[in-house]
Structure 1
């Protein structure tokens, strides 16, 4: 005799954390706020080591660029890759409270923002990617947990004992809580990997290596987890045999490998010390 499946609705979760008067404050918004706050704190800690690519007083300027890049890229990426009909209603693109963000779009927006920041401040781009990359796993953890609290982005059907029935799926079929899988691999796993490489090895002195390791780790994990994650509506059967998430992970994997492959003139060297205030 099998035990009854877990039900998301029995957990008492709600997308709304609390109200400020008539204004609902959603967990999804809090996840982004906490992401940038924790990322700022951790980045400032990373910058206290010898050879950091920028000064502490530049962090807030950098964070402003990152916020615009991640949120703008994430929203535009979602509209482009998953909900093209949003382009017919441009004002809906600004309705962030309705949800709908793409990690891959956010990554593109982040890369654009960091490139512009590096050019304006003459900070080495690859080193900047390494340090910012080490601070990004907070978002991967918190946003995926927010997805779970919202009861969205559930997984494919499963017979495993921790399968969960999500009311939004429109059926009583137990499904993988794939949001939590992603929080584990993309968030906690990436944090552990990059923290070890940053603090216990010399890779931070080889620009681009930390970013490359993080990209490869994410791409491999996302590609595999797409096998248990339910594809977005309308993207269940792409003609080339991959899901949209798997397809978008391929260029990330290639980019990560490119950053990891040794290149001429990229031998290990200690960078010049940077004055830290």
Structure 2
């Protein structure tokens, strides 16, 4: 890639990020995600009874002991539904949104090009995945610190860590969640190349996320589970061990890269041969 081409790609990427994060819809989704752990923390704080052990979301009964777990519970609750919903909206809008607005053919004028536009759109969706996971962490951290004590956190292995390291583990968990959504983002990108109606691409992406999790919950299909992009979504709990168990992280990243390769290739094949009329 020549310096001029690289500069054009960088400018296109920064422009795409600027457009994405100037939308009220984007910030509304991030605020809603941040509100999830806040509402959980408020419910626990003002409930007359302590959360029963073994009931409700994982780690819910730990929030009263350490506010750090408000962010953990927020990620556990948001990962199956709320995060895929927002990522489906963003990734499903990547190409179809431009086609719907009639701006797609203008974006394809050199030096943009179809392949470069696909890559830039996907990378912007990846940035949103990370921002969405961080929104949950920030909301949980603020609410946990305001409503509960922040001290030594007890890990699943029984070891204790200080507040600083606990927050570092929480950031690492947000990275795990962002990686978990890479495959779904690629699916959304492909769906977005198939239509000029963004709502259709968004809905298809979210429905596939739900279907994958339903199939993952059926013991009769245990042979299929390792191939489902949602199979390792809740493996983030392995980051709460001492030493950290990286097995789930590695397997999850490899699985998501496989989905990225497959649906990235499908999106490329579809988009590079598609007649752009708007």
TM-score normalised by length of structure 1: 0.36
